[in-house]
Structure 1
């Protein structure tokens, strides 16, 4: 590491990214895989568990209220930090209510609380993305994003593996109370960090906040096709992930503690995969990275097919989870680069929210079809279908290889510039 890089690593701005990334990543599993495990152990049927996937709708729809968070400035702590403290405090309270009520007190009330957690989590992602964009200098953004991802993945380990281990030993209410307590890290960080000096003035009207970024994106050539690529690229991965935890718990009869331990290994594999993918991307370029990593990502679903055929095998489970997370990290590195290449830097916050919401469609709407497919065909055929579901995205990527390559080259050549896409 040369001296300039070392100075960049040691800047306080980059240090902030780690706890904020942690705060951003902590709620996701608590309305996803960890919640799925709680519902499974509570005895809910697969169809009901599949329907709970719809509590993730706010991650898909967050672009609808992203302009509100750009337009309205809270009367405390500034534009970005004001919204941060609202969402972090709300998340701590909502998780506490989930811990005390539980799914046994009524699925509808519990689902409403889970939906509230997802809404607040999606809202904080909007403002966190804006804060990160405003705060980091152009030459800090790569390292800042890497530090953010590290914090995010550590949080996923806490809300995934640690929560499952605590639940196995102390119960699910204790696990969710622990996660609510961890929100204090984000609250303390928000109170200590500065409001960005480079933050832009709030839009003068709601019409400006809504239509400026939207009309700019839709005016581009191939805009709808590029949105289709955003939806389809990780569709197979999302389809498999809709019921992976239930497959390991109910299909293979592993314990929640077994899954928690192997998930910790999987998080490490994801981080390793992201670093591998990021290291290979300068040599491969954006299009080839997306294609190669996407193919590996699709093949990883077949490792769960192997586990379904092999039966309860700790070695095969560890391989399947590790391979899926390794290739998922590689695919995510390329996918994030794609999303960044599609953002006009004048409208990064709202356009980032729009594109990430579109990508979340796969995670949200596949729970119920996945449960029905397992009921009809069984676990082995289900995972083969998830492999097939990844292929349309790779086909569309091939069709769009020229514009994808052009976007990647434009951003690589003009890092930190105002890049029209």
Structure 2
């Protein structure tokens, strides 16, 4: 087994992907958990600390400026490595400048720089995702995803738990942030030494083309709407299970917070890394569809461990086993899922399409919390974790429905073009676009209201409801049309 892992790490581009994955994951905690800990120690009030969580919105809306990174090419290192270098140099300077500030004295300067760090970090994510997509052939995307996940997770551990420990015990906050900035230097070295992807597909000629061509390209494909639903639903059961795992282990089972934190941070991280690497190894021997199906089933079944904890007596070994199994299967699913996103991107505008698809994949993770809390309060923990298994089934069914399209794309490197119901599809797309626009207006008014501006709550509620109805209706109509198109298409297309 260890020999296979070393073989995986020695594959072409592995070291570059590992270091770039590390550079991609490092800034995340420095503007979220680690920064919140620094502010807490500095006696900043909780309302302000909570407001700082809005800094992370850059990672959600990164698709809005991704087209610029598809359209424009820096005058050095090429379209992908050039933008990587720009974002990394800016990150080093910005993170180091955070070390010069005090949360108690320069709070809003710290907030402004944190926003810039999150923006540059999200930009680096955009380009790194596009770089992987453009560089790796189809048969290496599983292993490439596993290596980049390994680097990303290690970076989150370094900038999270290790940074807190160093700041508390040895270095202090200022020196710790300087050290975190210096740890981005290996990423710059990897950027300079890594090859620039050589592509046959041309870059967009105008910014307008970079903004709208990725959408036209994606929605002209067979099964486009069903694949969008698959992206939302594939890891939904896993998202539900993880959304309340810590409260469940502490309040539902009765473990103390120290034991839960230690097992989650160490054993859980180790299991995720092993799962991602082992998933990458297995994907070298099977098609993307088979990997998604197998790992999706394992993700669903692993949630049964939490159900067993809910109906049996408390035991530390059983908790460790459940956390290890769930994170192991989740890591395997993540490797396959990242490979799926890479497969779905057109290399002409992979930055924009990957940013859009990854933002869509976060919908379940972001919005399951309130539903999960209500379900537990109403039905209890045991039924909740059985529900997380059941909610995984629709994603697996959609995967089976989309099998023909996914295998065609992986085999040929091209996308099946849809030829049916053009007017109905345009109507569904307009409904989706109108709903997204209303939801964006609702979010803007909500933020303005939180900042003290006069916003009418009734209008906000109506915008949220109408926008949600239009988005769901458009997605359902497009999915029904996809299903009808599949039934009417000749099997020989595969």
TM-score, with structure 1 as normaliser: 0.76
Distance 1:100 1:325, change over 3 A: farther
Instruction: State the Cα deviation string for residues 28-72 of structure 1 (Å, max 9, x = none).
Output: 343455556656777788887666554332222222211101112
Q: Counterparts of 1:317 and 1:407 in 2: how far apart (Å)?
A: 40
Aligned position for 1:402 = 401
Q: Distance in 1 between matches of 2:84 and 2:155?
A: 17
- SS in structure 2 at match of 1:80: helix
> Which residue of structure 1 lines up, in the alignment, with residue 61 of structure 2?
61
Contact 2:141 / 2:339 at 8 angstroms: preserved in 1? no
1:261-298 per-residue CA deviation (whole Å, 9 max, x = no partner) reads 85243222112212444455638815532540331354
CA deviation after TM superposition for structure 1 residue 218, in Å? 1.9
Q: Which one has more relative contact order, counting CA pairs under 8 Å at least 6 apart?
A: 1
Q: Distance in 1 between matches of 2:304 and 2:72?
A: 45
| 2-structure distance, mates of 1:303, 1:111 | 44
Q: 1:224 to 1:52 in 2, by over 3 A?
A: farther
Q: Quick one: which of 282, 288, 291 aligns to 2:293?
A: 288
2:20 maps to which residue? 20
Instruction: Kindly provide the CA deviation profile for residues 240-275 of structure 1, in whole angstroms up to 9, marking residues without a partner as x.
Output: 65676799899966459x846852432221122124
Asked if structure 2 preserves the Cα contact closer than 8 Å seen for 1:236 and 1:386, the reply is: no
SS at match of 2:183: helix
Instruction: Label 1:248 to 1:301 Cα distance change in 2 as closer, same or farther (>3 A).
Output: closer
Do the aligned residues in 1 keep the contact of 2:80 with 2:127 (CA within 8 Å)?
Answer: yes
Q: SS state of the match for residue 150, structure 1?
A: helix
Give the secondary-structure state (helix, strand or coil) at the position aligned to 1:360. helix
In structure 2, the residue matched to 1:418 is: 414
When residues 318 and 162 of structure 1 are mapped into structure 2, their CA distance, relative to the original with a 3 A threshold, is farther
| Contact kept in structure 1, 2:204 and 2:348, CA below 8 Å | no
What is the rounded CA distance, in whole Å, between the counterparts of 2:195 and 2:188 in structure 1? 13
Confirm or deny: 8 A CA contact 2:134 2:197 kept in the other structure: yes
1:361 aligns with 2:382: no
Cα shift at 1:155: 2.1
CA–CA distance in structure 1, aligned partners of residues 279 and 36 of structure 2: 29
**Aligned twin of 2:227:** 226
Displacement of 1:79 = 2.4
CA distance, structure 2, for counterparts of residue 306 and residue 102 of structure 1: 48
Quote the Cα distance in structure 2 between the aligned partners of 1:12 and 1:229: 31
Change in CA separation of 1:393 and 1:221 when aligned onto 2, cut-off 3 Å: farther
Describe how 1:32-43 pairs up with structure 2 within 5 A.
32=32, 34=34
Paired residues for 1:3-402 under 5 Å: 13-32=13-32, 34=34, 53-101=53-101, 104=104, 110-137=110-137, 140-170=140-170, 171-198=172-199, 201-238=202-239, 254=257, 259=261, 263-278=265-280, 282=286, 285-286=290-291, 288-296=293-301, 298-299=303-304, 302=307, 310=314, 315=317, 318-364=320-366, 369=370, 388=387, 391-399=390-398, 401-402=400-401
Q: Render the CA deviation track for 1:376-415: whole Å, top value 9, x for unaligned.
A: 969x968975874674453244255311x2234224534x
Larger mean CA deviation between 322-331 and 159-168 belongs to 159-168
Deviation at 1:117, TM superposition (A): 2.6
Distance 1:341 1:137 in 2: 9
CA apart distance, 1:209: 1.1
- The CA deviation string for residues 84-125 of structure 1, in whole angstroms up to 9 with x for no partner, is 122112222333344454655577665554433332222112
Larger radius of gyration: 2
Instruction: Return 172-181 or 388-397, whichever deviates more.
Output: 388-397
Gap runs ≥5 in structure 1 = none
Q: Given that residues 57 and 364 in structure 1 are in contact (C-alpha distance below 8 angstroms), is that contact kept between their aligned partners in structure 2?
A: no
Alignment partners' CA distance in 2, 1:42 and 1:390: 43
Q: Which residue of 1 aligns with 2:484?
A: none
> 1:305 deviation in Å?
6.0
Specify whether residues 302 and 186 from structure 1 end up closer, same or farther in structure 2 by C-alpha distance, changes over 3 A only.
farther
> Secondary structure of 1:75's partner?
coil
For this pair of structures, how many residues does the alignment match? 408
Q: Following TM superposition, by how much is the alpha carbon of 1:183 offset from its aligned partner in structure 2, in angstroms?
A: 1.0
Residues 387, 22 of structure 1: alpha-carbon distance in 2 compared, 3 angstrom cutoff: farther
Tell me how far apart the structure 1 counterparts of residues 99 and 173 of structure 2 sit (CA, whole Å).
7
Q: Secondary structure at the match of 1:73?
A: coil
TM-score by length of 2: 0.66
